[in-house]
Chain A
């Protein structure tokens, strides 16, 4: 199935720094989701976006639905050690055919150095 291009693949940052990651697709999407997965656990939904240009925050996390509808961004401000994990984007294409399942990005592995 279609994969979303997620970057960067991994990040090593100092505690307190801000983090940015993004996800792009070749198709227009009408839903963008961001998940975080802790080691040995299932992904947990962080933010859901439904409209182009939408900017939504969840604590120190802010995500945006790109104007082109082909991308989304996640920012984490003032990172802390518990931000460590893998962040996945996921989306739903506007042109819905077949099973209409979510497409998932390949993940961004975040390491926060205390």
Chain B
């Protein structure tokens, strides 16, 4: 069954550590996204990608970086975690095109806590 996966689901880490949040999808989608969401609040787009070797910044400025070396994989990295990075990070994917079928499918999220 096609799906989108995120690991780890929960991460508690100390300030200054480097972390990578993993996201993989099996739907063959070209477009992938990262959102940041505080509990119960709205979604903020921080990165997206049109396909392999494409990365773009989203609407909310973020100190994180992303890479897209393979279609199915879109990891997010924080070089030096800080308490202000504490949040939930959601990965999503969708088809890429000009048609109306632009539904995004979300992973379960990674809840990051930086002490």
Q: Which residues of A contact B (CB under 8 A)?
A: 1, 3, 30-31, 33, 35, 39-45, 48, 50, 86, 88, 90, 92, 96, 99-102, 104-107, 109
**Chain A residue, CB-CB nearest to B104:** A102
State the main secondary structure of chain B at its contact with A. Answer: loop
Q: Which of B100, B108, B109 contacts A30 (CB under 8 A)?
A: B100
B42 touches A99 (CB 8 A): no
Total chain B interface residues with beta-carbon distance under 8 A: 29
Task: Compute how far the CA of A92 lies from the CA of B33 in the bound complex, rounded to whole angstroms.
Answer: 16
Residues of the B chain whose Cβ atoms lie less than 8 Å from the Cβ of A100:
98, 102
28 A–B contacts, CB within 8 A, in A order: A1-B59, A30-B100, A31-B101, A35-B106, A40-B88, A40-B111, A41-B108, A42-B91, A42-B92, A42-B107, A42-B108, A42-B109, A43-B43, A44-B106, A48-B101, A86-B40, A88-B42, A88-B43, A92-B100, A92-B102, A99-B48, A100-B98, A101-B33, A101-B58, A102-B102, A104-B42, A106-B42, A109-B40
